[in-house]
Structure 1
């Protein structure tokens, strides 16, 4: 079995920071998005897809350097504030299966996130949505990761925190555990993940080994 971990909201508790920065910068451009708006609409999706959706919804053209602005602000916050999901290192080390990361974020953000939180040594194989044509909820990224890791999709188990990620895993023919322990997860998050197709749910990473091994 191959374990495929999302990064933001599963390995690192980054989504609240990221959504705040997105909302602040977009509001400064005259697009009054709140943190809740960003969380609801865009968590789990790539920056490219978020920008395309906003431009379509508002019939506007966003600045060409918007991604750079957001990432610059985000990376500065990550260096001093980003934390790993509680217990995730111990949970990963308790599992005897090959593993990789498949994230909607750009490679630079993934690498920074893993370095700052002390998780980089756990993952030799890291895949980004920038390597495929379509980001989550399309299955492309998970199928790409499975192919590169030499695994059959039916033998893959995905750990995801977003509905887009769960939908992508299901579309790829993979089982998926929904994680609801990130700081961005509201009271209805578990239900949303179940509705998206999650085959199991965990609220704490210490539950992961038992959930997989039982």
Structure 2
């Protein structure tokens, strides 16, 4: 009996030792698993952090590129505007400059004599003509569509006579006749309706234009 009790005691002690050892192993296994999960989570967080940082860096790069493109577009636009202004200036320099337009009140109906206001106006731009050496003066006469009522004098002839009247005054002020061209257009180029007196008065006009000096061939 005594040996039986001793044997059972040894058996219980052995079982107790085994159970205790197993119990101690389980926490160690769980802790290792948790540590692995923590490491994986930490690594994932690091990856996310790097991706976020890369994304922010890419945004900054894109913003810088957009700013650079915008600056280049502004510079290109400015250069284009300068080029256009130069082209416009060159074109304007090749166009005739209107010195004066003598309206319907300048001449009496069917007459070619100028009034005092017109004479004073001519004196004002003679200096500019004289200073523009090599340029030409174009004088264009225009009328309304009302017949002159005079024999052998139609609107075409009347417009030419009025243009020549102004040309003669320019010559009397020292402008060389070789620089002057007088042209009569009659009623071919109205600028307003001939159906009203106001419109006809605008159409009865003489325009004096200064043509720029033509460039010598082979020179800019």
| Structure with the larger RCO, 1 or 2 (CA within 8 Å, 6+ apart) | 1
**Larger-gyration structure (1/2):** 2
Question: Which TM-score applies when normalising by structure 1?
Answer: 0.24
* TM-score normalised by the chain length of structure 2: 0.24
Larger helix percent: 2
